[in-house]
């Protein structure tokens, strides 16, 4: 915001500065929208931090760098590489647990057939001077603004930071993707895909880190839960993106429409799609007004290896939570959002020319209606 030099205007300016909010995106599968949604909402994204999960950490770092390079955002949104392994689990114990209690549908970076998506000899930029946990701590410590962390991967970076500086949580609003409860009937009767939709993979890859993070005393903790598993890209969304961008030919030829091009491809929605899991978390963080339903609960993550619920979220009412045996955190559990508004946010964020954002701090909309 520009501060005009009148008494009234500077007062308004001070107020709006005091309410500034900055973002950190912590993820195993960073995508462009996770950054563009907060940027389009006028927030600053201080950086992306990466971790292990769907991909190994190098690949997550590569994906982050690629997502930024399309929009020429590399120079003002740094990427920091984070934890390469969970606090306790390793490849062998991850598979041993499944031998005991059953296979996880999606195995991520520890799938026996996992292949890195990073092309051989690919070069990509990230900041190598400091690792993600240290950068997160330093950033929170030095920030004069309110910090929101959107964590949509394993919580290992956060747990490492919290181990060194437990009070960090009190300064931060944390919004996480995942945190499923009450999925047993659907997981049993719905087949592998539905089972996967209810599998808290991010928590299960590092249950100890998830418990450390989700039971910390955050200024605010928002758990997006299974709502984000219900929201998929649609042909209607593609059609709107194409229409407001001026048609497929324009999208193919105009570099300012790079994010639209990557999203809509040839214009036809692929027959297999994954939900907008992490993007929904990012959208809820960027604009909490899209939330239409929620309830409060105390939460913890099961950290017993000898349990079929190892890595699962448990919820409790305030009066019945354990006072000693299990540390719990207070969370807002999201149950519904305004999907129309979410789609509008996605269109608004993608149909912009981001090329000069790092230089000017603005990204004008290039929508033609
Ligand atoms: C942080 O947000 C709160 C409202 O949640 C606001 O009162 C406060 O002024 C903000 N602080 C800063 C430094 O922006
Ligand atoms: C990768 O780099 C190495 C060392 O420079 C080179 O020998 C190799 O041919 C490269 N591989 C590919 C697929 O480019
Ligand atoms: C890398 O990050 C560190 C820590 O935030 C910062 O001091 C440094 O300037 C960054 N390097 C570059 C090249 O941006
Ligand atoms: C999420 O949970 C609610 C309540 O249990 C249920 O109605 C809804 O169908 C679930 N979502 C998915 C993706 O199945
Ligand atoms: C367009 O892309 C979709 C999804 O990638 C694919 O299924 C379809 O075959 C493609 N159609 C054409 C005409 O190329
Ligand atoms: C990309 O951003 C940099 C500033 O960060 C700017 O100097 C450069 O002109 C931009 N590239 C293009 C193609 O506009
Ligand atoms: C790309 O699209 C933008 C926004 O519609 C427009 O201003 C610009 O002239 C286009 N560039 C080219 C090369 O057509």
Mutate to test the pocket of ligand 4, among 195, 226, 227, 339 (most ligand atoms within 8 A of CB): 226
Q: What are the structure tokens assigned to 207, written together?
A: 């249950």
Rg over CA atoms, the chain: 20
Crossing angle (nearest 10°) for helices 156-164 and 132-142: 60
The contacts of residue 362 (CB under 8 Å, 6+ apart) are 356
Q: What are the structure tokens assigned to 274, written together?
A: 């994954």
Residue 188: the pLDDT is 93
Residue 18: the pLDDT is 40
Mutate to test the pocket of ligand 5, among 263, 267, 268, 269 (most ligand atoms within 8 A of CB): 268
* Domain parsing of the chain, residue ranges: 25-232+274-337
- The yes or no reply on domain 25-232+274-337 and CATH 3.40.1160.10 is no
Ligand 6 within 6 A of CB of 235: no
Interval 56-72: pLDDT, tens: 999 999 999 999 999 99
CA 317 distance to own-chain centroid: 27
- Decide if pLDDT at 340 tops 90: yes
65 Cα to the center of ligand 5, angstroms = 26
3-state secondary structure of 147: strand
- Decide if pLDDT at 14 tops 60: no
- Alpha-helical (H) ranges within 24-69 are 32-40, 57-69
3-state secondary structure of 161: helix
Q: Which atom of ligand 2 is nearest to the CA of 119?
A: 13
Give yes or no for a contact between 338 and 290, defined as CB atoms under 8 angstroms apart.
yes
What are the DSSP E strand ranges found in 84-132?
none
Residue 279: the pLDDT is 97
Residue 31: the pLDDT is 97
Residue 5: the pLDDT is 43
Interval 208-225: pLDDT, tens: 999 999 999 999 999 999
Instruction: Report the pocket of ligand 7 as residue ranges, CB < 6 Å.
Output: 254, 256, 366
Q: What are phi and psi of 149, to 5 degrees?
A: -105, 125
CB neighbour burial string for 279-313, b if at least 16 within 10 angstroms, e if fewer: bbbbbbbbbbebbeebeebbbbbbbebeeeebbbb
Q: Measured over all CA atoms, what is the biggest interatomic distance in the chain, rounded to whole angstroms?
A: 69
- Decide if pLDDT at 86 tops 80: yes
Tell me what percent of the residues of the chain surpass a pLDDT of 70. Answer: 95
Q: How confident is the model at residue 16 (pLDDT cuts 50, 70, 90)?
A: very low
Residue 265: the pLDDT is 96
Residue 324: the pLDDT is 84
Q: How far is CA 163 from CA 66, 87, 160, 221, 362, in A?
A: 31, 11, 5, 18, 37
- Decide if pLDDT at 15 tops 60: no
Q: How confident is the model at residue 322 (pLDDT cuts 50, 70, 90)?
A: confident
**Mean per-residue pLDDT, 267-277:** 95
Residue 2: the pLDDT is 40
- Alpha-helical (H) ranges within 70-113 are 91-101
Give yes or no for a contact between 82 and 149, defined as CB atoms under 8 angstroms apart.
no
**Mean per-residue pLDDT, 349-368:** 97
Interval 89-147: pLDDT, tens: 999 999 999 999 999 999 999 999 999 999 999 999 999 999 999 999 999 999 999 99
Q: What are the structure tokens assigned to 176, written together?
A: 């996480």
Q: How far apart are CA 30 and CA 28, in angstroms?
A: 6
Q: How far apart are CA 132 and CA 241, in angstroms?
A: 34
Mutate to test the pocket of ligand 1, among 46, 146, 285 (most ligand atoms within 8 A of CB): 146
Residue 4: the pLDDT is 41
Please name which of 121, 124, 115 lies closest in space to residue 78, comparing C-alpha atoms. Answer: 124
- Decide if pLDDT at 6 tops 50: no
């Amino acid at each position: 915001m520009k501060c005009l030099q009148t008494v009234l205007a500077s007062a308004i300016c001070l107020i709006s500065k005091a309410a500034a909010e900055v973002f950190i995106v912590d993820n195993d599968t960073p995508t462009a929208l996770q950054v563009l949604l907060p940027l389009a909402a006028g927030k600053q994204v201080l950086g992306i931090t990466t971790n292990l999960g769907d991909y190994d950490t190098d690949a997550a770092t590569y994906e982050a760098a690629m997502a930024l390079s399309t929009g020429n955002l590399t120079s003002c949104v740094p990427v920091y590489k984070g934890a390469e392994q969970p606090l306790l689990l390793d490849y062998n114990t991850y598979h041993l647990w499944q031998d005991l209690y059953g296979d996880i549908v999606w195995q991520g970076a520890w799938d026996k057939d996992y292949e890195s998506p990073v092309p051989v000899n690919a070069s990509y930029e990230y900041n190598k001077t400091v690792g993600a946990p240290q950068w997160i701590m330093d950033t929170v410590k030095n920030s004069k603004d309110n910090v929101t962390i959107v964590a949509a991967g394993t919580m290992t970076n956060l747990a490492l930071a919290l181990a060194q500086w437990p009070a960090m949580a009190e300064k931060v609003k944390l919004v996480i993707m995942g945190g499923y409860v009450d999925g047993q009937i659907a997981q049993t009767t719905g087949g592998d895909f539905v089972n996967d939709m209810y599998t808290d993979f991010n928590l299960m890859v590092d249950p100890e880190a998830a418990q450390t993070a989700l039971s910390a005393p955050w200024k605010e903790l928002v758990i997006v839960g299974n709502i984000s598993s219900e929201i998929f890209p649609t042909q209607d969304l593609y059609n709107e993106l194409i229409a407001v961008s001026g048609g497929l030919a324009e999208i193919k030829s105009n570099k300012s429409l790079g994010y639209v091009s990557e999203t809509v491809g040839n214009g036809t929605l692929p027959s297999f799609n994954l939900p907008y899991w992490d993007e929904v978390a990012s959208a809820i963080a960027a604009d909490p007004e899209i939330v239409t339903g929620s309830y409060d609960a105390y939460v913890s993550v099961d950290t017993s290896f000898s349990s079929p619920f190892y890595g699962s979220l448990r919820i409790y009412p305030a009066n019945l939570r354990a006072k000693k045996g299990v540390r719990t955190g207070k969370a807002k559990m999201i149950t519904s959002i305004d999907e129309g508004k979410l789609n509008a946010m996605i269109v608004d964020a993608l149909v912009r020319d981001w090329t000069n954002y790092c230089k000017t701090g603005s990204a004008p909309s290039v929508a033609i209606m």
